[in-house]
Amino acid sequence: MRLGEDTLDKLDCEGSVEIKNAEGLHMRPAMKFVDLASQFQSDIKVCNDEMQADAKSIMEMSMLAATYGTRLKIKAKGQDAEKAVGALRELVEVRMFDEPPPGADS
């Protein structure tokens, strides 16, 4: 059996996330995102309404300038695409990059 485009399409996964930490995607959370994305073999892209970034590039991720409330789309292609999107979604929306939510000024 020849590996065709239909088979490759099954290795694609995408999902959207909302930035929920108070300070948004500044350098520290962007680095956490890049570090996590780099653990996967899949090609991972992150898009906002204006641009697309390589999830494994700190320079490109920082250019997204995603503030609190920004919605981003994560697109992964490869053998571990589904795991990659799930792990990145958890980092952004559940763990909030291990940073405080808005209004947590203490």
Active site residues: 26
Write out the DSSP string of the chain.
----HHHHHTTEEEEEEE--STT-S-HHHHHHHHHHHTTSSSEEEEE-SS-EEETT-HHHHHTT---TT-EEEEEEESTTHHHHHHHHHIIIIISGGG-PPTT---
Q: How many C-beta atoms surround the C-beta of residue 33 within 10 A?
A: 27
Q: How many C-beta atoms surround the C-beta of residue 102 within 10 A?
A: 12
